[in-house]
Amino acid sequence: ANGSLMWQDVISFDTEFLIKNGIYDKTNELLDDKKLMEVTRNMMGVMLKKEGLDQSAIWTAAIHKNTKHFHIHVATVEPIPTRERGKRTQGTWKASRSKVVNSIMDRSAQEIEITNIIRQGIVGKKKGVPTLHDKDLKKLFLGIYDKLPEDRRKWSYAYNELNHIKPELHQMMDKYLAKYHGTDVKKLDTLLEKESQLKLEAYGSGKYDQNFYKNYKSGKKNDLYQRLGNAFLKEMRMYDKTVMEMEGKRYPSSAANKFDHGRAVNLSLKRMDKLTKKSYESWRNEQAYERLQKAIERDGQGL
């Protein structure tokens, strides 16, 4: 009567996907309607907010079980219309579909595990392994350092000015990962492969569906390389500080190979060893404190 638009949406589910996630009991032909209602509410909350309709629209939904695939029809209107066009953005569709999947599959624990392997298990432990201590990595380290731009503000993995040395930086990172984090990398690859497969099952293999998982694994690996690359570059800044203290200036790339890095390497190693020792002492104190707290708890339970 008010000339309002009506948005009509359908959420369709693969039956095997619902069985695998405990929403449909095939043996007893029981569908968890309450869970699907929750999924729909979660999706509509995202959709309305993304479209700026959360304060003006109302909606209703119905679960249909009379076809090959269980599906949900949703109708949305504005009692008092605020717009004449109803096309939604791709961002809204993507966020809404993601909400449906995430409401059914809680993968937060796995995502946290992946993040912890990257940030704590690998990158976080880099400071405990000074590169200049490793003869296999030392040559690569110094070779990359000599090719860094004069502007130290650009000593960050994201800068295009470092593209010419990224192949060497990746070579050094690969050697480092293989030598010190072989188990972590293997576990990370296994988890990423599993998550990619689950996303494929959740979203399907259609042309537009692939956008939800196609670059998932490579995106996480890129995050690892960016963080680890910046850890190495930070170490190079520390080394550069030692060189500057010795010479009072940064040698240009053309003359860098003529510079004797030996003394600078030794001084830099001493500085990094000191930092590593300090980190170890801090960690050891934390461990002692935790053991004390557990002992106190055990004594308390004994009483």
- Which residue shows structure tokens 């959360």? 54
**H or E stretch including 110?**
helix 108-116
For residues 32 and 97, the answer to whether their CB atoms sit within 8 Å is no
User: Tokens for 224?
Assistant: 């690892």
- Which residue shows structure tokens 């979660």? 42
Q: What is the pLDDT of residue 257?
A: 43
Domain assignment present for 1: no
Residues 260, 141: one domain? yes
Taking the C-alpha atoms of residue 83 and residue 99, their distance in angstroms, rounded to an integer, is 25
Q: What is the pLDDT of residue 67?
A: 87
Q: What is the pLDDT of residues 67-82, one digit of tens each?
A: 889 999 999 999 999 9
The one-character DSSP state at 156 is S
Using DSSP, state whether 68 is helix, strand or coil. Answer: coil
Residues of the chain with pLDDT under 70: 247-303
Q: What is the pLDDT of residue 256?
A: 44
Taking the C-alpha atoms of residue 269 and residue 243, their distance in angstroms, rounded to an integer, is 12
Q: What is the pLDDT of residue 285?
A: 53
Residues 138, 184: one domain? yes
Please give the residue range of the domain that contains residue 67. 6-104
Q: What is the pLDDT of residue 303?
A: 38
Residues 151, 293: one domain? yes
Q: What is the pLDDT of residues 1-24, one digit of tens each?
A: 899 999 999 999 999 999 999 999
Residues 112, 99: one domain? no
For residues 50 and 106, the answer to whether their CB atoms sit within 8 Å is no
**H or E stretch including 77?**
strand 71-77
Structural domain ending residue among the three candidates 104, 135, 150: 104
User: Tokens for 243?
Assistant: 């060189």
Q: What is the average pLDDT score of the chain? A: 84
